[in-house]
Chain A
Amino acid sequence: MATPATGVDLARAIVIDPTLPADWLVVAPSILTILGGAICLMARKNTEAQPRVAILFLTLLVLACGGLFVHVLDKGVVNMVMGRWLPPFGIAFTADITGAALALTASIVALAAGIYGAVDIDTSGRRYGFYPFLLLLMTGVCGAFLTGDIFNLYVWFEVLLISSFGMLVLGNEKEQLDGAVKYAVLNIIATTLFLISTGLLYGLFGTLNMADIAIKTRESGLTGPLASIAVLYLLAFGMKAAAFPVNFWLPASYHTPRIVVSAVFAGLLTKVGVYALLRIFILLMPQARIALTDVIALVAIATMITGIFGALAQTDIRRLFGYLVISGIGSMLAGLAIGTTAAVAGTIFYAIHSVIVMTALYMAAGIMHSMGGSYSLRKLGGLYGASPAFAAVFLVLAFGVAGLPPFSGFWPKVILVDAALATGHGWLAGTILLTGLLTSIAVGRVWVFAFWRGGAEGTVDGGAVALPAADPVLTRAAVWLPLGVLLTLVVLLGVLPEPFFQISGRGASGLVDPLGYVRAVFGGSL
């Protein structure tokens, strides 16, 4: 590079040290997904090639996120500043264990959805851009998990939001447009609030770099303006995460799109909101979180209870699972309300579990629809007779989401209940346990009606009704492979929780104590 001689000490403005190729892993997820999305967009008419290109790039994404995760576990927080301007002025990508672990989980889920979509999305859906949207959605999701700049976080939220609009209306049905309008309006309000609070935060501290903000809030303590900004952030991300009482966009929209789109949304979107809440309230503004503990705890309890009651009342399995997503968000918020390292670890673990199990449940719902010809619990029945193996798979997922041992939902709930009792939040602990019980009833109901009962509503006990001819897609490996992978993860998280305890524990301590994060961004001088 030919830099004109100016007599200026460049080391004060730009990064002089050479960047290691391994550090590129922190931006690789965003680059790969944008490139893949752009190629799929150019090949929009070629509906045969699109899934192949997309699955190739999603596989590369999983590899990149896996590499990044190993790198972060090994070397600690990885930082890269775009265009090598020194932080806080350059836009930083900063991956810590929490971000890298969630990005890895999200990329696995996206790959599973990409494979499942090869069957579920028809030619017209592909022409309208399912694969470009999926890849660009992942750009937004991974970018949000890995960025170290709060305005950049807003940009990634916007990227994933716009892609999700596109995925939501794929098919252009009346019901979908209705769901999309509710979804879009509420999410745009939330994003605008996020932008306003970020503007206020910039006005207060003069910086957008997260590590820099983390230092400045700790120096300033809790002031009036900071508390107001924190409340605005809580509202904005509460909407994104589908927390009570600003969560009605979720049940209004999650049952309308193609099932694989619902699976991706249920797995990823709300969890990005939870991640942002963790980032803001644990890393950036711990004082504000302490002041808001009671509010967050009440919101968590209300979210859990309304979510699970909603699930109990539904007969459409897609809506029912949508309410299960909400009650899970309540459990994650409980960890945020408690705020100790152990509780935050519980939230991270729960988020990983929820991403996997909710996507798997929606995929299972798609298979149930292919087998039984309906999403309604009134019309489903006799699926056990159709496929006992699939009935067992569903039961595992149901146990997983209800938090029954030995599957994935058990351990995060153990951590959260333990952390709640240790800090005197008996109400939170009780609600988490009650929600677990009610979740077992809700998913048990699905199991009894759809699998155990002989046929549709009104079938006499012991009777059996012939199922409609099974959809030919059920013979395709692309339906079963992604579900199998996610199922394996659900079992693995439950049977071998030790590594996940360590990962979420280390991730949580990295958020609670920002020293490592700040050092990685600003070098050893602090």
Chain B
Amino acid sequence: MRTVIFRTIAPYLAALMVLFSIFVLLRGHNEPGGGFIGGLIAASAFAIYGIACGVAAVRRAISFHPMTISGFGLFLATVSGLPSLFVSQPFMTSQWLYIHAFGVEVPLSTPMFFDIGVYFVVVGAIGSIALGLEERESD
């Protein structure tokens, strides 16, 4: 799979896919998308980059071990359910914060952080499997 064309295109493609995955993640609250599908897109970006340039390059690029990323996602998703404790509402009740910055209203919410957590769990778990499988093949 290491043709010149693929190797040249793959970094750009991977970067675009990661960007797109974040777009999909953030639009997920009201429109199709969300953490799971966004995470899958990002994980496939890493997989493509890994096929083209080798798994070691991917591991360097993402700095953390995929399982660590998963663990962080799990942590973030759980913590996002906790703020409702302080307003006497049950676990996982959504809390909203509307910030006005530069004339734009930015709605921040706990479901968004939950979705980001899911995103990281999926990136970590699927990325870990994909990189593991690719590593075997290159041996």
Contact = CB atoms under 8 A, between A and B. Distances in A.
Nearest to B111: A83
Nearest to A31: B78
A84 interface: yes
B96 A1 contact: yes
Contacts, number: 71
Interface stretch (A15-23, A333-341, A377-385): A15-23
B87 interface: yes
Chain B residues touching A, range: 20 to 34
Contacts of A21: 85, 88
Given A38-B72, A42-B72, A80 B67 contact: no
Given A83-B93, A83-B94, A132-B71, A38 B78 contact: yes
A37 B92 contact: no
A-B complex: 5 closest residue pairs judged by Cβ atoms: A41-B71, A18-B88, A38-B75, A42-B71, A38-B74
B96 A19 contact: no
Nearest to B69: A42
Contact of A44 (B65, B82, B95, B96): B65
A44 B68 contact: yes
A15 to B, nearest CB: 7
A39 B89 CA distance: 26
Contact of B91 (A41, A42, A44, A82): A82
Nearest to A16: B89
Interface in B75-125: 75, 78-79, 81-82, 84-85, 87-96, 98
Interface in B34-75: 65, 67-68, 70-72, 74-75
A18 B89 contact: yes
A19 B89 contact: yes
A1 B87 contact: yes
Name A's interface SS: helix
Interface in A359-418: none
A487 interface: no
Contact of A24 (B65, B79, B91): B91
Nearest to B72: A42
Contacts of A38: 71-72, 74-75, 78
Interface string A1-43: 1100000000000010011110110010001001101111110
Contacts of B70: 41
A42 B71 CA distance: 5
Contacts of A82: 90-92
A81 interface: yes
Contacts of B84: 19, 84
Given A38-B75, A41-B74, A2 B68 contact: no
B98 A44 contact: no
10 contacts: A18-B88, A18-B89, A23-B90, A31-B82, A34-B78, A35-B78, A38-B71, A45-B65, A83-B93, A84-B90
Given A18-B88, A18-B89, A1 B78 contact: no
Interface in A50-99: 80-84, 93
Nearest to A35: B78
Contact of B90 (A2, A31, A83): A83
Contacts of B91: 24, 27, 31, 80, 82-83, 93
A39 B68 CA distance: 9
Contacts of B94: 83
A2 B98 contact: yes
Given A41-B74, A80-B90, 16 more contacts: A2-B96, A19-B84, A19-B90, A20-B88, A31-B78, A39-B75, A40-B71, A41-B71, A42-B72, A44-B71, A81-B90, A83-B91, A83-B92, A83-B93, A83-B94, A84-B89
A481 B75 CA distance: 31
A41 B67 contact: yes
Contacts of A20: 88
Nearest to B85: A24
Given A1-B87, A2-B98, A39 B71 contact: yes
A299 to B, nearest CB: 38
A45 B64 CA distance: 12
Of B67, B71, B90, B92, the most chain A CB neighbours within 10 A belong to B90
A27 B98 CA distance: 28
A232 B90 CA distance: 34
Contacts of A1: 87, 89, 95-96
Interface in A121-144: 132
Contacts of B67: 41, 44
Contacts of A84: 84, 89-90, 93
Nearest to A32: B78
Interface string A203-243: 00000000000000000000000000000000000000000
Contact of B79 (A35, A42, A132): A35
